[in-house]
Structure 1
Amino acid sequence: MKISNFKIATISLLILLSSCSSDSPSKPDSVVVPPVVVPPIVETDVLTTTNVRTYMVDANATNETVALFYNLKKLGKTKFAIGQQDALNYFYNNVSGTTDIKKSTGFDPVILGSDFERITAKENDGTEGNWWYGEQKKIITDTKEAYSKGMINIFCWHVREPFNEKSFYANDLSATEKATAFKSILPGGSNHDWYKAKLDKIAAVVSSLKGANGELIPIIFRPFHEFDGNWFWWGASYCSPDDYKTAFKFTVDYLKNTKGIHNILYSFSPDNSYTNESSYLSRYPGDTYVDVLGMDNYGDLASGKGQTGSNLANSKLKYLSDYAKTKVKIAAMTETGWQVTSTTSPISGWFSNLLYNTLTANDIQISFVMFWNNGNYKDTGSAKSNYYVPVPGTSNIDDFKEFALKPKAALLNTIPNMYVLPQ
């Protein structure tokens, strides 16, 4: 039978297609691409026990001071230490004994706050029987006791104005004094020698702070704190940013280089007025002059501010925490609190909810928080019942205990030896 050329071509093509189909595996409906495994990002910690001095203000700091810087920085990665101003001296209802924080929790605070104000007061004549000199001795004793317990000492300085030395509040000065006080203490100013004499007194006291083995006790010093407000004579309305930086740098250089004091970490501690990193750093003297980046903040956590205020305070800590991560500095909330009085009630959840959120949200790394003192010595009568840290019998004691025992909070029983570098 005769087959047309068209049919022959068609049959040949079918045979070829059939052959190809039988010799090749079936093509899947879709191609399976193996997943790309992205290794987790590991944050490299540049701070080591061998390079720690390169990130500090004082490259010649004592070994204990170096260890304090290192251990505080490391602590902030997982916990924040709890402290209080005058914890060993002023108490709720003026009752003496152990710290009010220990009365509440069973454990002492990590941080003891003190003040150079009475030490440098003009009334302090250095003689026995003088009340101001007695206060100086008490502060020295407390500092040594705190160190012997493993606590950390931090000093502010409510330095009095240089004209009459009566007050550190700007409202107690005349308009002319407000305008000239800060400039007068700068190099070349009419009160510069006066200021150096005050620093000499601080240097003498700091160099006398020694532990049981004769080692110098490290302290954190935060000069001219809350400078962005206008309540102190060194406030923002009374000195320019450059003036402030000059005074801060001179203070550090004079204590470190001229007086040879090497057991101080230096803290930069504005109040809470800033709204971004740039405004926080507007009076910053530079990384070579600051070990601790701090913030004092009472206002954002005041009554009526609630969660909004807590979040705002956290966002402000976030600026300095991020900067501290980048520059390898310590970040801290250097003062805070809500004072309960006979006419001011506690804020529900202030410690365990609002403050804890402020100190921990948004991956911030805060090394410590310090509350202001209970029962100040100037208080009289019912005012001695004022407190920032509650004690047993007060209505917000459970709130504080819950805060202090949370996973990221640290009291003295949960911290390592802060004055020895880990092996």
Structure 2
Amino acid sequence: MKKLKIVFALVCMALFIYSCSKDDKVTPDPNATLKITTESNTVSELSTTGSFTLTLSAALSTTTTVSYTVSGTAKNGTDYQNIASTAVIPANSTVATIEVTILEDTVAEDIETITLTLNSTNNGNVTIVSPKSATISITDGTTAYVLLPEDTPNYMVNPNSTPETIALFYNLKILSKTKFIVGQQDAFNSFYNNNAGDSDMKKATGSDPGLLGSDFMFITDDNNDGSASNWFYQQEQTIKANVVEAYDKGMVNVFCWHLREPFEGTEFYTSAMTDFQKNNAFISILPGGENHDYYKQKLQKVAEVANSMMGSDGQLIPFVFRPFHEFDGDWFWWGAAYCTPQQYKTLWQFTVNYLKDELHVRNILYAYSPDKNFTTPTDYLSRYPGDNYVDILGMDNYGDFDNMGQMALENANQKLQVISNLAIEKVKISALTESCFFVTPGQTNPIPNFYTSNLYNALSNNNIEISFMMFWNNSQDTYCTPVPGVSGTADFIEFANKPRTVLQTDLPNMYQLP
């Protein structure tokens, strides 16, 4: 009996050891890809810092040592503090940052470059994929970089954009040095007093606006079933036809996106949402969130439209896309009150990568456009997803133009200086992406010389480089741009004829590189 007890104990011990070893079995690491990017493509000696980012597609249980080559016209250890030839991505992490400290000197120099090229890793589970190299350009802080046509793709979110999209980026950038395009939201289908026909701007000036604003709101609505009798589908067809008309006239197209919250699909203003919707809508569409697949379906619709809009020349129509705008307020469910800066950056980066890499959209310029709630570059960039994800640095600003006095107008110009300077440094495009003073006769009177003085000076003073500005739409009883017979029309016509102002009839060819 004693022997049986010993045998039984030994068997139990063996089973225990086996079960423990089975439970503790290590799951093998997944295969992962590795790429290198930069947050800022251009830095100046005055900025003092830049960085490269190594990113794995999946976290691994062991450290990954990455070997790379440092090259470029800038000298390692002379123009910037010495960079080693390896970096380590820690275990259970997906990112490592290689900081670059720029060394300032007093010698005027041409643009210098630092290029890091990935060579190998110590981890057999890791495959290096494109982009395998990344470049930071260093300016001496005294001379602005002059963009050349052939270099334009290097500064764009999608270097593989269509030729017309590349040309649009280049021409907006060059135009901003001396002029700005004037645009209007829904110019072809929203009119003061519902007086359809020519755009209200053409009624007043003889020219359409140089830019047409549109919205993906109805296009991506849950109720758009794609049938000919469906009201939302009819709106989609109208919007697409307007975009084609604008492109054929040489105008620039811009889309915003008043995306409905994902739970009920009916609202975008938080004032009409429940506390649950407000506090969970944004988080729910992040990767891994309960409504992430729903959001991907909306992006698929955006891609479908982007890839279906062609001009009479047979080319895909480029457009500026500015999702999740005015994110520094709390009136939209994607506002700062409802997501952290990192969550906002994560969703923006996913949006761009999904449209560009998964859905292969090649005719979009991406615009980052907070409201006016910033005063410094640091404030402005608090939710900035990085140069690889933004083509246009914008700002929506109604408040500073709302008859608030001279100081408010100077503040508007100062904020435009912030984005203009950042766009110069980063070789991006800057814009006043939404603005106007709403006039409702009988309730809100026009401001004397609003267009020629208040607005024009804010867009022109202190040598700022703003590529375009867009008025919001006119409606039945309210206008942002006056029509013949109302107060302010003469002022607007004078504004349209100012040296820096460009309407449709004055546009250069925006879709061809010189």
User: Which of the five TM-score ranges fits, normalised by the shorter chain?
Assistant: 0.7 to 0.9
Deviation at 1:350, TM superposition (A): 1.1
The answer to whether structure 1 residue 293 and structure 2 residue 366 are counterparts is no
CA distance in 2, matches of 1:156, 1:50: 29
Equivalent position amino acid for 1:150 in 2: G
Higher relative contact order (CA 8 A, sep 6+): 1
Equivalences for residues 394-409 of structure 1 within 5 A: 394-409=486-501
The answer to whether structure 1 residue 148 and structure 2 residue 248 are counterparts is yes
Deviation at 1:163, TM superposition (A): 0.4
Which structure has the larger Rg? Answer: 1
Contact 1:121/1:160 (<8 A) preserved = yes
Please list the CA deviations of residues 237-274 of structure 1 after superposition, one character each: whole Å capped at 9, or x if unmatched.
00000000011111100000000000000000000011
Equivalences for residues 327-366 of structure 1 within 5 A: 327-342=426-441, 343-366=443-466
Deviation at 1:306, TM superposition (A): 2.3
- 1:32 aligns with none
Classify the secondary structure of the residue corresponding to 2:470. strand
Equivalences for residues 361-400 of structure 1 within 5 A: 361-375=461-475, 384-400=476-492
CA distance in 2, matches of 1:177, 1:78: 45
Contact 2:179/2:500 (<8 A) preserved = yes
The answer to whether structure 1 residue 104 and structure 2 residue 204 are counterparts is yes
The answer to whether structure 1 residue 120 and structure 2 residue 212 are counterparts is no
CA distance in 2, matches of 1:172, 1:108: 35
Contact 1:306/1:354 (<8 A) preserved = no
Residue 507 of structure 2 is aligned with which of 405, 411, 415?
415
CA distance in 1, matches of 2:165, 2:293: 29
Residue 340 of structure 2 is aligned with which of 216, 220, 240?
240
Q: Could you list the runs of 5+ residues in structure 1 that have no partner in the other structure?
A: 1-40, 376-383
CA distance in 2, matches of 1:352, 1:216: 36
Residue 238 of structure 2 is aligned with which of 132, 138, 142?
138
CA distance in 1, matches of 2:405, 2:161: 42
Deviation at 1:385, TM superposition (A): 2.3
Please list the CA deviations of residues 29-62 of structure 1 after superposition, one character each: whole Å capped at 9, or x if unmatched.
xxxxxxxxxxxx9945431011100000001000
- 1:197 aligns with 297
Please list the CA deviations of residues 173-200 of structure 1 after superposition, one character each: whole Å capped at 9, or x if unmatched.
2112211110100000000000000000
Residue 323 of structure 1 is aligned with which of 409, 422, 427?
422
Please list the CA deviations of residues 256-309 of structure 1 after superposition, one character each: whole Å capped at 9, or x if unmatched.
000000000000000001111100000000001000000000001102x12211
Equivalent position amino acid for 1:400 in 2: F
CA distance in 1, matches of 2:313, 2:205: 31
Classify the secondary structure of the residue corresponding to 2:321. strand
Contact 2:367/2:394 (<8 A) preserved = yes
Classify the secondary structure of the residue corresponding to 1:333. strand
CA distance in 1, matches of 2:472, 2:225: 28
CA distance in 2, matches of 1:199, 1:102: 34
Deviation at 1:207, TM superposition (A): 0.3
Classify the secondary structure of the residue corresponding to 2:433. strand
Classify the secondary structure of the residue corresponding to 2:337. coil
Deviation at 1:324, TM superposition (A): 0.2
CA distance in 2, matches of 1:306, 1:356: 15
Contact 1:114/1:155 (<8 A) preserved = yes
Residue 283 of structure 1 is aligned with which of 383, 407, 426?
383
Residue 330 of structure 2 is aligned with which of 223, 230, 233?
230
Deviation at 1:413, TM superposition (A): 1.8
TM-score after normalising by structure 1: 0.87
CA distance in 2, matches of 1:171, 1:391: 33
Residue 282 of structure 2 is aligned with which of 176, 179, 182?
182
CA-atom RMSD in angstroms: 1.1
Classify the secondary structure of the residue corresponding to 1:220. strand
Q: Judging by fraction of residues, say which structure has more helix.
A: 1
Equivalences for residues 31-110 of structure 1 within 5 A: 43=143, 45-110=145-210
CA distance in 2, matches of 1:396, 1:145: 28
CA distance in 2, matches of 1:178, 1:131: 28
- 2:362 aligns with 262
Classify the secondary structure of the residue corresponding to 2:218. helix
CA distance in 1, matches of 2:499, 2:359: 42
CA distance in 2, matches of 1:82, 1:240: 34
CA distance in 2, matches of 1:370, 1:313: 15
Deviation at 1:213, TM superposition (A): 2.9
CA distance in 2, matches of 1:74, 1:43: 16
The answer to whether structure 1 residue 313 and structure 2 residue 405 are counterparts is no
Classify the secondary structure of the residue corresponding to 2:212. strand
Classify the secondary structure of the residue corresponding to 1:71. helix
Please list the CA deviations of residues 342-375 of structure 1 after superposition, one character each: whole Å capped at 9, or x if unmatched.
3111111111100011100111000000000011
CA distance in 2, matches of 1:42, 1:81: 28
Residue 159 of structure 1 is aligned with which of 259, 267, 275?
259
CA distance in 1, matches of 2:328, 2:142: 37
Contact 1:80/1:369 (<8 A) preserved = yes
Classify the secondary structure of the residue corresponding to 2:336. coil
CA distance in 1, matches of 2:266, 2:228: 22
- 2:92 aligns with none
CA distance in 1, matches of 2:179, 2:313: 29
CA distance in 1, matches of 2:253, 2:222: 24
Contact 2:202/2:209 (<8 A) preserved = yes
Contact 2:144/2:424 (<8 A) preserved = no
Aligned length: 373
Classify the secondary structure of the residue corresponding to 2:213. strand
Please list the CA deviations of residues 213-246 of structure 1 after superposition, one character each: whole Å capped at 9, or x if unmatched.
3211000000100000100000000000000001
CA distance in 2, matches of 1:207, 1:226: 27
The answer to whether structure 1 residue 209 and structure 2 residue 309 are counterparts is yes
- 2:122 aligns with none
